[in-house]
Chain A
Amino acid sequence: MSFNSELIKGVWKENPLFVIVLGTCPALAVSTSMENGIGMGLAATFVLVCSNIVVSMIRKFVPSTVRIAVYIVIIASFVTIVDLVMSAYFRTLYNALGIFIPLIVVNCIILGRAEAFASRNSITMSIADGIGMGGGFTLALLMIGSVRELLGNGSLFGYNLLGSSYIPILVMILPPGAFLTYGALTAVVNSLKKR
């Protein structure tokens, strides 16, 4: 187990969305455009790395019966800190992401990694795991977001690509489009992985 292999496993081999299938609720909800996807992905990655560090740091002192409660307190605290700091110093970004930040608390990837990885591994490995898993999550959101934004709105990152003659497939930016895209991409990723 090396730093680098922990770093890249989240992107492909154990991608949180396409392979482990964790944190699907926020992913489906915010992947209507690439911009939303990248914002949610980066904010979640930050919280994931921070909570992994702290969970790994205190892993020897926390009795296993109360560990989940402790993890949730840690994660919720980091989310609130991100929320406050962004609202004070990065207002434009905060306005764009406002509604997604509180959603990070309920993102199962973060609790999942605290439980499955950070509570059993060293701080350095937990940082690598956090970055990798967060990166894989961001990448997956970008993929879903790009398909949905392009088909549903004819644009990418808000720039109109397909021209005004293109009639958007509205269903793609509505909830059913999220399920369709997510299902199709999961199938593609898993069939590629099998080779």
Chain B
Amino acid sequence: MKEIIRLVGVLTTVCVLAGLSLAYVNEKTKEPRAYQDRLKLLSSLNMVLPQHDNQPDKDSVTVDGTTYYISKMGSGVNGIAFEASSDKGYSGMIRVMVGIKSGGEILSVGIIDQKETPGLGSKIAEGWFTDQYKGKSLDNAQWKVKKDGGDFDQISGATISPRAVTAAVKSGLEAYLKNKEQILGGSNVVQ
């Protein structure tokens, strides 16, 4: 009996101490982490949006679980950015930031996060790959990789990752068009 109390005592003490120190570190790093998260969001927004004079991360609308960041110059909307993601990649989630004009034409696409095979699937993050989405919209392109009869290049040795990116961007565009009225609201749109 005495032995059991000792075991329980030691385990409880260790766990309480570990819990306390984790709570302390979590609390201490909360603000810097939020700050870094915002920096990361801003840099990915700047990557895909045109020049703007507002703060797109504060000028955002959330519809159906997707947040749309609205970029404005003067009082007119000149671009919208949203995150599209796919779990159909080779490993883990692929997260893509998509910047579009209000009509649904792509301004720029940037990969925010991917864990694809280094040297193979990871090439989706390179400029030559993401550039091919520029100027494309649902109407003027076949949203499949070339191997599946579409318009987008695959990467030799890695078809799965480009396929996932293309599908993610496509479904993001579809969701945008479906909820366009709600996202833009009464905003003044610059064509």
- Enumerate chain A residues within 8 angstroms of B157, measured Cβ to Cβ: 170
A interface, CB within 8 angstroms of B: 32-33, 36, 58, 61-63, 65-66, 69-70, 73-74, 76-77, 80-81, 84-85, 87-89, 91, 99, 149, 152-153, 168, 170, 173-174
- Enumerate chain A residues within 8 angstroms of B10, measured Cβ to Cβ: 61-63, 66, 70
- Quick check: A85 and B25 within 8 Å, CB to CB? yes
- Enumerate chain A residues within 8 angstroms of B21, measured Cβ to Cβ: 77, 81
- Enumerate chain B residues within 8 angstroms of A153, measured Cβ to Cβ: 118-119
- Quick check: B14 and A70 within 8 Å, CB to CB? yes
Q: Could you jot down 5 A-B contacts, CB within 8 Å?
A: A32-B117, A80-B25, A81-B22, A88-B36, A91-B40
Q: Mark B6-28, 1 if CB is under 8 A from A, else 0.
A: 11001100110010011001100
How far apart are B95's CB and chain A's nearest CB, in angstroms? 12
Residue of B nearest to A81 (CB): B25
Scoring A76, A91, A149 by chain B CB atoms within 10 A of each residue's CB, the highest score goes to A91
8 A-B pairs besides A63-B10, A81-B22, A170-B157 with CB distance below 8 A are A66-B11, A73-B18, A84-B29, A85-B29, A87-B36, A88-B33, A149-B119, A170-B120
- Enumerate chain B residues within 8 angstroms of A66, measured Cβ to Cβ: 7, 10-11
| Residues 142 to 191 of chain B near chain A (Cβ within 8 Å) | 157
Q: How far is the CA of A160 from the CA of B89 in the complex (A)?
A: 26
How far apart are A45's CB and chain B's nearest CB, in angstroms? 20
Task: Say yes or no: is B115 at the interface (Cβ < 8 Å to chain A).
Answer: yes
**Which of A74, A77, A173 is within 8 Å of B117, CB to CB?**
A173
Q: How far is the CA of A5 from the CA of B178 in the complex (A)?
A: 68
- Quick check: A99 and B115 within 8 Å, CB to CB? yes
- Enumerate chain A residues within 8 angstroms of B92, measured Cβ to Cβ: 99
Q: How far is the CA of A68 from the CA of B40 in the complex (A)?
A: 39
Task: Say yes or no: is B32 at the interface (Cβ < 8 Å to chain A).
Answer: yes
- Enumerate chain B residues within 8 angstroms of A80, measured Cβ to Cβ: 22, 25
